[in-house]
Amino acid sequence: MNLELLRNGLIVSCQAQGDHPLRDPKIIGALAECAERGGAAGIRADGPVDVAEIKRRISLPVIGIYKQVLTEERSFITPTLDHARELAEAGADLVALEATFENRPDDCELGHLLGNIHTELGVPVMADISLFAEGVRAWEMGADLVATTLSGHTRKSQGRGKPDLELVSNLAEAGIRVVSEGHIRTPEHVSASFGRGAFYVVVGTAITDPLEITTWFTASGRPVESQPEA
């Protein structure tokens, strides 16, 4: 895949897990079709079934991931070569995997996995990380892209509720092809990410999860009642 097709583009993450009302491949495919019509440059999707449905319906490049649930709040993204192979066989144009110290502490294992995906599957690899050092490690071991996806989701990066623009800047300044992903809720976040050197930006929940978006609004409290004019 020519990664230049994604440069300066918006990638829309179309996912729904568990008992989420949108958890249906056809619905995920419809979300991807909406993203394509809206001008997205690509789609991020979880699992070979959803990847295949999306590739059947649209022509955009698809970044495939394969989540293995660890806890209610944490998944391991594309743990093995077999997971990556299933994604590639389903049509994924690029495979994303986790490259954090937390779930992928062994440098050799990470290096072998990256190399095998390149040589055996012939697709580029995006490494999802949470810290600068993780991004440097993944890049030096051959990742084609490094994404800030997991900033705020690991023990060493807890407490983050906004896009990690500092991490984007630091990786870009180090000469790493960086992707801004995670906690991006507004067009201003997207613009700021590009301003910090992002190669492309991934937005998920703020576009494709009406359940979560509704909670943002309900959590803001009831509107102030308007006062009658004097």
Q: What is the CATH number of the domain that holds 14?
A: 3.20.20.70
Q: How far apart, in whole angstroms, are the C-alpha atoms of residue 23 and residue 216?
A: 20
Within a domain: 163:
yes
Domain that holds residue 160: 3-211
Q: How far apart, in whole angstroms, are the C-alpha atoms of residue 101 and residue 205?
A: 25
Within a domain: 224:
no
- What residues of the chain score a pLDDT lower than 70? 222-230
Q: What is the pLDDT of residues 5-55, one digit of tens each?
A: 999 999 999 999 999 999 999 999 999 999 999 999 999 999 999 999 999
Would you state the pLDDT for residue 65? 98
Would you state the pLDDT for residue 115? 98
Could you give the residue ranges of the DSSP H alpha helices within the chain? 25-37, 48-57, 81-90, 107-116, 132-140, 165-173, 187-195, 205-208, 210-218
Q: How far apart, in whole angstroms, are the C-alpha atoms of residue 119 and residue 60?
A: 23
Total domains in the fold of the chain: 1
